[in-house]
Amino acid sequence: MKYLILLSILSLVGCAETRYSIANGLETYVEIFLKEGSNRGKNIVITNLTIEFATNPPQPNVLGMCTLYSGEASIKVFQPAWDNLDLAAKEILMLHELGHCVLTRTHLDAYTSLGYPVSIMNTYLLNSLVYSANRREYLDEFYK
Ligand SMILES: [Zn+2]
């Protein structure tokens, strides 16, 4: 089954109050996001972000969703699908959504000549084994 990861940009403009709230168990992925960026010379500062678990995705097979609305960045991670992902898939999903919500990246659905996605910003969740075997290259692409 192919899992979708959704982006919803309702508005990129506007100003909002500073909100920072990360659901229990998901802080570790924000730390990975910041650390791997720092390792690549990116000093990422997050001032406005909410990450929460949710049920009832807008479509079946949707694992996560970033919403940027009037300057507020919000990530929803859908259960129970999340609970069934392996660690690599959880990292891919969280980096993907942080890519939308913090780096304001959009989807990149290009593929290598071997048929592998070139980016974790692919619309579909990467295969965990492919990601793990090429993690450094995927992270280099992610932050470039
Ligand atoms: Zn996405």
Q: What is the pLDDT of residues 63-111, one digit of tens each?
A: 999 998 877 899 999 999 999 999 999 999 999 999 999 999 999 999 9
Q: For residue 67, list its beta bridge partners.
A: 8, 74
CA of 62 to the centre of ligand 1 (A): 10
Residue 120 lies in a domain: no
For residue 60, give its domain range. 4-106
17 pLDDT higher than 80? no
Cα 9 to middle of ligand 1, angstroms: 10
The whole-number average pLDDT for the span 21-37 is 97
| pTM for the model | 0.89
Q: What is the mean pLDDT of the chain?
A: 90
Coil, strand or helix: which one is 84? Answer: helix
Domain membership flag for residue 35: yes
Tokens representing residue 62 in the block:
């949707």
∠ Cα 137 32 142 (to 5°)? 35
What is the count of structural domains for the chain? Answer: 1
> For residue 26, how far is its CA from the centre of ligand 1 (angstroms)?
18
| 102 domain-assigned | yes
Q: Is residue 122 situated within a structural domain?
A: no
Cα–Cα distance for residue pair 123/65, rounded to 1 Å: 11
Confidence of residue 6 (pLDDT cuts 50, 70, 90): low
CATH number at residue 62: 3.30.2010
Which pLDDT band holds residue 139 (cuts at 50, 70, 90)?
very high
pLDDT on residue 118:
97
**Domain presence at residue 124:** no
Residue 121 lies in a domain: no
39 in any annotated domain: yes
